[in-house]
Amino acid sequence: MKLAGKTAIVTGGGRDIGRAVAVKLASEGANVAVNYFASSAGAEETVAQVAALGRKAIAIQGDLNNPADVERLIAATVSKFGGIDVLVNNAGGLVARKTIAEMSLEHWREVMDLNLTSTFLMVKACLPHLTSGTIVNIASQAGRDGGGPGAIPYATSKGAVMTMTRGLAKELGPAIRVNALCPGMIDTDFHNIHTPDAARKGFEAAAPVKRQGVPEDAANLVLCLARDDSAFITGANIDINGGMLFS
């Protein structure tokens, strides 16, 4: 129970990696505030799984590109649990695959805001309450290799999250450590929607581990970065991709 008495906020916590992270942190003793945008049923299921572990959780709806919703999320968390110790910026997405030639400015801004601006707003709003602790951002392998077809805004935004992670580590240390994950092919709705089955099977055949990742793989790494076991790690963007990309 290395997070006993701690409070974590997990954005996008209603499914997949977000849910796995919330439950994993709770398994180490943390109480959890679960943010969601649309999936209220999913967020409540996450809360139920946390409660089943004997920890407390709340689900809070909010658009993380809206500063008022961000402030409401922070206020509800502090009111319920008394503070913030761990922030996991997991909310994000690709929206749709579009080439630059066919892309509108509105699409570009939507994807950048979804992945990058939301992270900025969450970090800024948490800082008055996160006087010590950890921030874990969810970046992507796309931030290293440019992403798949039609994913330039997504890859660009995730690359920016990686750079932000390095800058925040310098600015917020030593009291706050900031790290990021760079997941590759993880079996989530993201890839169910945006990645053809043939590409996923090709990944499994080529990957040294011969499988796709699962949300629990990412959650295990988030837990490590959230605990004091990783006290000498900050500013790192850690690959978790089954050996498909080495950096």
Residues tagged active-site: 154
Residue 176's identity, in one-letter code, is: I
**What b/e sequence results for 206-217 when a residue is b if at least 16 CB atoms lie within 10 Å of its CB, and e otherwise?**
ebeeeebbebeb
Distance CA 222, CA 24 (A): 9
Q: Can you list the positions of beta strands (E) in 24-118?
A: 31-36, 57-61, 86-89
Phi-psi category of residue 221: left, alpha or beta, with phi > 0 → left and psi -120 to 50 → alpha: alpha
On whether the CB atoms of residues 90 and 23 are closer than 8 A, the answer is no
Both tokens of 213, joined, read 């990742």
